[in-house]
A and B are shown apart, each in its own frame.
Chain A
Amino acid sequence: MSAVPVLETRGLGRRFGGLQAVSDVTFSVPAGQVLGVIGPNGAGKSTFINLVTGHTKPTEGRVLIDGKDLTGARPWVIAQAGVARTFQIVKPFRGMSVRENVAVGILYGSNGTNIMSKALKAAEEVLEEVGMAGLGDRPPGELSVADARRLEFAKALALRPRLLLLDEVMAGLRHTEIEPSLELIRKLKARGITIIVVEHVMKAILAVSDQVLVLHQGKVLTSGDPRDVLSDPRVIEAYLGHRYAKRREGES
């Protein structure tokens, strides 16, 4: 088992005009781990994902995937390197059926096939994996929120990725819908896929993460064991504000 981390960033940063959305993010994710990434709104989580997956070019720093420097590479290059992602606002291909949506990734990923019929069959298998077995023929517009999220999952899985980045996949789900998603994440981890979960839902983060990274105002605030991080007073202050943190301190 090579010690090269699946994902490593060094001093990663992105400036938009006057705003430094992400700055000096340095960390690495070993293979097979689940990393949770949390931070209050505006912390730069989505920008961070875009930087890693090539949708936005970094203005500083490096991104290394399996040791290879892929900083600033176009999104399809990163996808071909085995990195898949979901989008926070789901982006299905509306004119195609659910199965065809998944087939796209199989046709164009590095681990797939070029033959249409095989791709459609493989797509069906991916759909079964995420629990959407009977929905292959539907147009994406008819899916429920939970199913639409699962379609995002399925599309990403079609790439047979080594690294999967999940951008707030639990947002807006009911309690009963969260557990199957967590199950899916555990299943994928068991298969050896490295997963980065960007989330607001703390229960989910605690349930699946091996490590947690906290972003605040574009910088890394802290990282480490989930429970430690979540009870770190700086993290609480970042989320809930200075006065709440002080009050809590006063109480304890």
Chain B
Amino acid sequence: MSTSTQTPPSTNVPRQGISGAMRSAQARRLFPWVLGLVGLLAALGLQSQLYSGQERTVATIFMFVALAQAWNLIGGFAGYASFGQVAFFGVGGYFTAVAMSHWHFSFWMSLLLSGFVAALFAVIIGIPLLRLKGHYFAIATLGVAEGMREVVTNLTDLTGGGAGITVPTVGNNATTAYLGNDGFYLLFLGLAVLSVIVGGLVARNKFGYALRAINQDEDAAAALGINTTRMKVLTFALSGFITGLVGASYAFQQVTIFPERLFDVDITVLMIIMVIIGGSGTVLGPLLGAVALQFLSEFLRQNFTNLHTFILGAIIIVAVVLLPQGAVNYVREARRTKEFSLLANVRKYRL
């Protein structure tokens, strides 16, 4: 009999009763924000220490942090594993590219609008699809992402089709100066911070309770007054919004974008792996997972160019087998039950 339980976020009540617990729970509530602030300052300080190539790598890490956190909202908290998340990435990216090159919007305007367009898209596909369960939802969303790629490829007049579209960054057509490595570093850092804050707020609030309830037993959640449809669609829209913002930023950074890249299913899979290995349903998990995996991927790419995908695959397998619930959840459970053995962990999920 396997019972996988996460340690509830703000209990562990000490003996001095409820009000005493409230006080130390308050301290515990503030601590992660403090930690986050420290992390942010560290990231800002780091920038001056890095070469431009490294800056780009770290910016990509921030990008994936944001993507992973956004996925975690719908996939981790609410439990609806969207395998088509890259659709929002692509929609955001293409909207920005089109807005900047055809309609001469500034980047910042396009960025904001891209988020809303992606969120609107999420609402439109969410209302019908969030009625599906498990495998069906995953494949349907995957279908949406793949479908969008084809749609974008075929709207050649608007999007340049398979030949790609270029954002104007120099000359009279450029509405916003190219941000450069420094600028993009800060932009992606900002998005990462936004996503972590949103994740943190959702996790600790009434909204997060509803999502976790929906995840664990949707019928029971509905019977307790939770409007499950509204919650799911809202979460999907929020997740889409952030992902759209990231896509828009990516489009500007890359200058020229193509449908196969902006709607690449590998991006979705990567962000899912990051969340799962880090620990889904937590705030720290996707953060750690994104950093660790991107780091690893870069390291392997530079040192084992031929074999890097192969080794990455092997590492994913080992990580998933040893820590199926993700690193953060594993640590929390281990601290609670005092059982640290990895082998015991494997035994929990095996047949």
Q: Determine direct contact between A and B, CB below 8 Å.
A: yes
| CB-contacts of A120-174 with B (<8 A) | 121, 124, 136-137, 139, 141, 155, 158-159
- In the bound complex, residues from chain B placing their C-beta under 8 Å from that of A141 are 3, 5
A-chain residues with CB within 8 Å of residue B13 when the two chains form the complex? 136-137
Can you list 5 A-B pairs with a CB-CB distance of less than 8 A? Answer: A93-B212, A94-B216, A124-B18, A137-B8, A137-B12
Binds B, one of A2-10, A30-38, A84-92, A208-216: A84-92
Whether A100 lies near B224 (C-beta < 8 A) is no
**Contact A91–B219 (Cβ < 8 Å):** yes
Q: Within A89-117, which residues are at the interface with B (CB < 8 Å)? A: 91-97, 99-100, 103-105, 107-110, 114, 116-117
A104-B209, A141-B3 in contact; A96/B8 too (CB < 8 A)? Answer: yes
Q: With an 8 A cutoff between CB atoms, is B226 at the interface? A: yes
Is there an interface contact between A110 and B212, defined as CB atoms closer than 8 Å? Answer: no
Interface contact A95-B5, CB-CB below 8 Å: yes
Chain B residues at the A interface, C-beta cutoff of 8 Å: 3-6, 8, 11-13, 18, 22, 204-206, 209-210, 212-213, 215-217, 219-229, 281
Please name all residues of chain A whose beta carbon is closer than 8 Å to the beta carbon of B221 when the two chains form the complex: 93, 104
A79 within 8 A of B: yes
8 extra interface residue pairs, beta carbon distance < 8 Å, beyond A85-B223, A94-B5, A105-B225? A55-B222, A74-B227, A93-B216, A94-B216, A96-B213, A104-B210, A104-B224, A108-B224
Q: CA of A24 to CA of B210 in the docked complex: distance in angstroms?
A: 36
- Give chain B residues whose Cβ lies under 8 Å from the Cβ of A116: 204-206
> Which chain A positions have C-beta within 8 A of B213?
93, 96, 104
Shortest Cβ distance from A142 into chain B, in angstroms? 8
Tell whether A80 is near chain B: CB-to-CB under 8 Å: yes
Give the number of residue pairs across the A-B interface with Cβ within 8 Å: 106
Are B225 and A97 within 8 A (Cβ)? Answer: no
- How far apart are B152's CB and chain A's nearest CB, in angstroms? 36
Given the contacts A93-B217, A96-B216, A100-B209, A109 and B222 also touching, CB distance less than 8 Å: no
Tell whether A97 pairs with B11 under 8 Å between CB atoms, given A55-B219, A91-B219, A159-B225. yes
The complex places the Cα of A104 from the Cα of B219 at a distance, in Å, of 13
Q: Which of A26-60 contact B (CB under 8 A)?
A: 53-55
A105 and B227 CA atoms in complex are apart in Å by: 12
Answer yes or no: A233 CB below 8 A from chain B CBs.
no
Known interface pairs A76-B227, A87-B220, A158-B224; A96-B212 also in contact (CB < 8 Å): yes
Task: Report the separation of the CA atoms of residues A121 and B11 in the bound assembly, to the nearest whole angstrom.
Answer: 12
Chain A contacts for B12, CB-based, 8 A: 137
A75 at the interface (CB under 8 A from B): yes
Please name all residues of chain A whose beta carbon is closer than 8 Å to the beta carbon of B212 when the two chains form the complex.
93, 95-96
Q: Which residue of A lies closest to B329 (CB)?
A: A95
B225 & A80 in contact (Cβ 8 Å cutoff): yes
> Which residues in B have their C-beta under 8 angstroms from that of A54?
222
- Please name all residues of chain B whose beta carbon is closer than 8 Å to the beta carbon of A79 when the two chains form the complex: 222-225
Q: Who on chain B is nearest to A139 by CB?
A: B5
In chain A, what residue has the closest Cβ to B1?
Answer: A141
